[in-house]
Amino acid sequence: MHTSQQTNFEGVWLSRYTYRSASRGIDVSDQHYLHVQQDGMTLTALSLPSSEGSRLRLDLDIEFPVASGVWHEETSPDGHYGGASFQGLIQLVIDPDGRRMHGMWLGIGRRLTVNSGDWTLTAVSDGVVGR
């Protein structure tokens, strides 16, 4: 399917992103399963409940072949960042089949530095997730 014809992004997506943990001196990757809802060409993605306890939200506007928007994460209260809140910008390129997006995020870290890293979204299932 040609990207310009892909209009339904609803369903479950796997979100993976990378970041540099300055306090630990290592590169880290994290993932969440997201429930994506669509209103026209605007997507809202909310993390599904997980045992790790962090919560992620993405708000994206689609303008083929690009998805741009903002992200917000509340880290796990029991994790390394102790329930800290982080937010920033995200820009992704939508693959031609509309089932994967890849790009980068930008945000401010705990030490008030501007950070960035890779981010991918991969469709796992179609349709609306029951609540």
What pLDDT is attached to residue 2?
41
Q: Residue 87 and residue 3: Cα distance in Å, rounded?
A: 28
Q: Please give the residue range of the domain that contains residue 66.
A: 3-126
Backbone angles phi, psi at 36, to 5 degrees: -100, 125
Residue 131 forms part of a structural domain: no
Query: Does residue 86 form part of some domain?
Result: yes
18/14 Cα distance (integer angstroms): 14
- What predicted TM-score, i.e. pTM, was given to this entire model? 0.88
CA 118 to chain centre: 10
Would the CA dihedral through 111, 116, 118, 120 be positive or negative? positive
Number of separate domains in the chain: 1
105-131 pLDDT, tens digit per residue, is 999 988 899 999 999 999 998 765 543
The residue ranges of DSSP E strands in 7-127, in sequence order, are 11-21, 26-39, 42-47, 55-63, 66-74, 85-94, 100-108, 114-126
Are residues 58 and 68 in contact, defined by beta-carbon separation less than 8 angstroms?
Answer: no
Does residue 106 form part of some domain?
yes
State yes or no: pLDDT of 94 exceeds 90: yes
Residue-wise pLDDT for 21-48, tens only, equals 877 888 989 999 999 999 999 999 999 9
Is residue 16 in some structural domain? yes
* Residue 73 belongs to some domain of the structure: yes
Whole-number Å distance between alpha carbons of 76 and 70: 20
Q: Is residue 15 part of a domain?
A: yes
Predicted local confidence at residue 20, as pLDDT:
86
Report if residue 80 sits inside a domain: yes
CATH number for the domain spanning 35: value is 2.40.160.90
The residue-averaged pLDDT of 63-89 equals: 94
